C-alpha cells in the first residue's frame, strides 16, 4: 500500500512554510569547528533567568513524575497580583506563541481573515494560514515616516472588514523594533469593531520604561475585545522553558481554555516563571544591560555608516545595504549568529539581538571586518 500524506493534508497546512528559528550555537560549533560563538539571533536575555527561577526549577525536579497543575493556579495568582487582574482573565501558554495559536484556533476558519502589519512577527501568518483562514497584511509606514516601517494603525483599522476576526499589533514589533505610543494605540482600539479580537502582542514590553505604555488593566477595562499577550522568553530570560500568557476578559480566556492542551505548560516552567516574577531587580538589571547594548550597537552602526530602525526591544534591525543572507553567512564563519529578515520582506537587513557588552563587542568587530573584506 502506498500513501501520499500531502494529498490528504488540509489546504492551510500545505500552504505553510515552517518557521525558521535562529541557528543554535551548538550547530554552528559542530558545522564549522568554532570554539567561540556569539548568538545574537533569537532576542534572548544574555543574562539568562533570575537565580530565584533557577532554584525553583531545581526544587521542582523531584516531583517531575507527576503532571503539572493544569490550571497553573500559583503562576496565575502571581500574575493576577502583579497586574491587578483576576485569575480567570489569564491564559497560560507554552510560550506566548501558544496563546497566538490558541487565538487562531478559537476565532479563525476558512472564509475569515486576520489583519497584521507588513514586517510583523512571522507567527501571525503561520497561525492564520494553518486554520485555513486568510491573511490580510497591511503596508507598513514608509521608511521616511516618524516611525519608519512601523505599524500603520489607520490603514490597519480600515482593513478590518466584516470577515476579519483577529488583528495583531506587536508593541514593540519584531523584527523592526518599532512601537506605537499610548494615544494612537487607544485611538486604534476604539476603531476595532466588536466582531474582531485585537491581539496586543507585548513580548518585549518589559524592556520598555515604566509608564510609557498603558497597563493591560487600564486597556482591558475599556476594550472587551482585547487580549494582551506576554512572555517569559525575553526579559525574564526563560526562553528555553516555553511559558507565556494572555490577559483578557474572562470570556476570551474561557474560550482559549477550551482549545488548549490540558497540560500546556510544564511544571518546571510554571515554578520558574512564578519565582522569576519575584525578582524585579533581575528584570531591571536586564533592562539596563539592554539599554547599554542598544547604545553600543547604535554607535557602532553610526561609525560604520549603517542605518537602523528605532527600537524599544532587545534587538536592532540594521540596514546592511547588501544581500543580508550573504553578510549573515560571512558573520557565521566569524562565529557570530545574527538573523536574516528576508522572510519579513527585508532582504537587505539583519536583525541583531542585544548581548552583553563583550558579546556585542565581538559581534561588532566581526561586522566591521565583514564589511571591509566582503
Ligand atoms: C513579537 C513576538 N511575539 C511573540 C513571540 C513568541 O515568543 P514565545 O513563544 O517565546 O513567548 C516572539 C518571539 O520571538 C516575538 O518576537
If asked whether residues 126 and 242 sit together in one domain, one would say: yes
The minimum-distance atom of ligand 1 relative to the CA of 244 is 11
Predicted local confidence at residue 356, as pLDDT: 98
The number of distinct structural domains making up the chain is 2
Per-residue pLDDT reduced to its tens digit, 45-72: 999 999 999 999 999 999 999 999 999 9
- Please, which pLDDT band fits residue 35 given cuts at 50, 70 and 90? confident
If asked whether residues 117 and 153 sit together in one domain, one would say: yes
Give the binding-site residues of ligand 1, using a 6 Å CB cut-off.
43, 95-97, 121, 170, 174, 201, 203, 231, 233, 239, 244
If asked whether residues 245 and 300 sit together in one domain, one would say: no
Centre of ligand 1 to C-alpha 227, Å, is 15
pTM of the model: 0.96
If asked whether residues 26 and 74 sit together in one domain, one would say: no
The minimum-distance atom of ligand 1 relative to the CA of 42 is 14
Predicted local confidence at residue 271, as pLDDT: 98
Centre of ligand 1 to C-alpha 234, Å, is 8
Centre of ligand 1 to C-alpha 321, Å, is 27
Predicted local confidence at residue 28, as pLDDT: 81
If asked whether residues 251 and 339 sit together in one domain, one would say: no
Predicted local confidence at residue 32, as pLDDT: 82
Per-residue pLDDT reduced to its tens digit, 196-238: 999 999 999 999 999 999 999 999 999 999 999 999 999 999 9
Asked if residue 59 lies in contact with residue 52, where contact means CB atoms within 8 angstroms, the answer is no
Domain boundary among 277, 302, 336: 277
CA 324/CA 302 separation, integer angstroms: 18
| φ, ψ of residue 7 in degrees (nearest 5) | -75, -20
The minimum-distance atom of ligand 1 relative to the CA of 43 is 14
Residue 374 has pLDDT above 80, yes or no: no
Kindly compute the dihedral angle of the four CA atoms of residues 190, 196, 197, 199, in this order, to the nearest 10 degrees. Answer: -70
Domain range holding 30?
A: 5-48+281-373
Predicted local confidence at residue 360, as pLDDT: 98
Mean pLDDT value of segment 316-325 = 97
Nearest Cα residue to atom 1 of ligand 1 = 174
Residue 18 has pLDDT above 90, yes or no: no
If asked whether residues 272 and 127 sit together in one domain, one would say: yes
Residue 34 has pLDDT above 90, yes or no: no
The minimum-distance atom of ligand 1 relative to the CA of 173 is 1
Pocket test for ligand 1, best of 40, 96, 127, 150 (most atoms within 8 A of CB): 96
Domain boundary among 277, 297, 314: 277
- What CATH number should be reported for the domain holding residue 135? 3.40.640.10
Supply the Cα-derived Rg of the chain in whole angstroms. 21
If asked whether residues 285 and 357 sit together in one domain, one would say: yes
Pocket test for ligand 1, best of 19, 121, 265, 353 (most atoms within 8 A of CB): 121
Q: Residue 136 is inside which H or E element, if any?
A: strand 134-138
Residue 172 has pLDDT above 80, yes or no: yes
Q: Residue 66 is inside which H or E element, if any?
A: none
Centre of ligand 1 to C-alpha 99, Å, is 10
Q: Which of 15-24, 202-211, 215-224, 303-312 has the lowest mean pLDDT?
A: 15-24
Residue 26 has pLDDT above 90, yes or no: no
Mean pLDDT value of segment 172-179 = 98
**How crowded is the C-beta side of 220, counted as CA atoms within 13 Å?**
20
Pocket test for ligand 1, best of 19, 22, 174, 344 (most atoms within 8 A of CB): 174
Residue 157 has pLDDT above 90, yes or no: yes
Predicted local confidence at residue 17, as pLDDT: 86
Predicted local confidence at residue 179, as pLDDT: 98
Mean pLDDT of the chain: 96
Asked if residue 119 lies in contact with residue 149, where contact means CB atoms within 8 angstroms, the answer is yes
Asked if residue 68 lies in contact with residue 59, where contact means CB atoms within 8 angstroms, the answer is no
Predicted local confidence at residue 29, as pLDDT: 82
118, 113, 139, 106: which is closest to 128 by C-alpha?
113
Centre of ligand 1 to C-alpha 202, Å, is 9
Mean pLDDT value of segment 135-142 = 97
Percent of all residues in the chain with a pLDDT value above 90, rounded to a whole number: 93
Residue 73 has pLDDT above 90, yes or no: yes
If asked whether residues 234 and 346 sit together in one domain, one would say: no
Per-residue pLDDT reduced to its tens digit, 334-346: 999 999 999 999 9
Domain boundary among 250, 277, 304: 277
If asked whether residues 19 and 69 sit together in one domain, one would say: no
- What CATH number should be reported for the domain holding residue 17? 3.90.1150.10
Pocket test for ligand 1, best of 203, 232, 244 (most atoms within 8 A of CB): 203
In DSSP notation, 283-346 reads: HHHHHHHHHHHHHHHHHHHHHHT-EE---SSSEEEEE-SS-HHHHHHHHHHTTEE-EE-GGGT-
If asked whether residues 260 and 287 sit together in one domain, one would say: no
If asked whether residues 272 and 287 sit together in one domain, one would say: no
If asked whether residues 205 and 287 sit together in one domain, one would say: no
Amino acid at each position: 500500500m502506498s500513501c501520499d500524506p500531502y494529498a490528504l493534508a488540509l489546504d492551510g497546512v500545505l500552504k505553510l512554510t515552517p518557521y525558521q528559528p535562529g541557528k543554535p550555537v551548538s550547530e554552528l560549533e559542530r558545522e564549522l569547528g568554532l570554539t567561540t560563538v556569539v548568538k545574537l539571533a533569537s532576542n534572548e536575555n544574555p543574562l539568562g533567568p533570575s537565580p530565584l527561577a533557577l532554584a525553583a526549577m531545581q526544587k521542582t525536579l523531584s516531583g517531575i513524575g507527576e503532571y503539572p497543575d493544569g490550571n497553573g493556579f500559583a503562576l496565575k495568582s502571581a500574575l493576577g497580583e502583579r497586574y491587578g487582574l483576576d485569575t480567570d482573565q489569564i491564559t497560560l501558554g507554552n510560550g506566548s506563541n501558544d496563546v497566538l495559536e490558541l487565538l487562531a484556533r478559537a476565532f479563525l476558519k476558512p472564509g475569515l481573515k486576520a489583519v497584521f502589519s507588513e514586517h510583523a512577527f512571522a507567527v501571525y501568518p503561520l497561525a492564520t494560514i494553518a486554520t485555513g483562514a486568510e491573511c490580510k497584511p497591511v503596508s507598513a509606514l514608509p521608511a521616511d515616516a516618524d516611525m519608519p516601517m512601523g505599524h500603520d494603525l489607520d490603514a490597519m483599522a480600515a482593513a478590518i472588514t466584516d470577515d476579519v476576526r483577529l488583528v495583531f499589533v506587536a508593541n514593540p514589533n519584531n523584527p523592526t523594533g518599532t512601537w506605537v505610543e499610548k494615544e494612537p494605540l487607544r485611538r486604534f482600539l476604539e476603531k476595532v469593531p466588536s466582531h474582531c479580537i485585537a491581539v496586543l502582542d507585548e513580548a518585549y514590553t518589559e524592556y520598555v520604561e515604566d509608564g510609557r505604555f498603558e497597563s493591560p488593566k487600564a486597556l482591558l477595562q475599556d476594550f472587551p475585545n482585547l487580549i494582551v499577550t506576554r512572555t517569559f522568553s525575553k526579559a525574564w530570560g526563560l526562553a528555553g522553558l516555553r511559558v507565556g500568557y494572555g490577559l483578557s476578559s474572562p470570556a476570551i480566556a474561557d474560550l482559549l481554555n477550551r482549545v488548549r492542551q490540558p497540560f500546556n505548560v510544564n511544571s518546571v516552567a510554571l515554578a520558574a516563571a512564578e519565582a522569576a516574577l519575584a525578582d524585579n531587580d533581575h528584570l531591571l538589571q536586564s533592562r539596563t544591560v539592554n539599554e547599554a547594548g542598544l547604545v553600543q550597537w547604535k554607535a557602532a552602526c553610526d561609525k560604520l555608516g549603517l542605518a537602523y530602525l528605532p527600537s524599544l526591544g532587545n534587538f536592532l534591525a540594521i540596514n546592511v545595504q547588501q544581500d543580508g543572507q550573504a553578510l549573515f553567512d560571512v558573520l557565521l564563519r566569524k562565529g557570530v549568529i545574527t538573523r536574516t529578515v528576508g522572510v519579513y520582506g527585508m532582504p537587505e537587513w539583519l536583525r541583531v539581538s542585544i548581548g552583553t557588552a563583550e558579546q556585542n563587542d565581538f559581534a561588532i568587530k566581526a561586522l566591521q571586518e565583514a564589511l571591509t573584506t566582503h
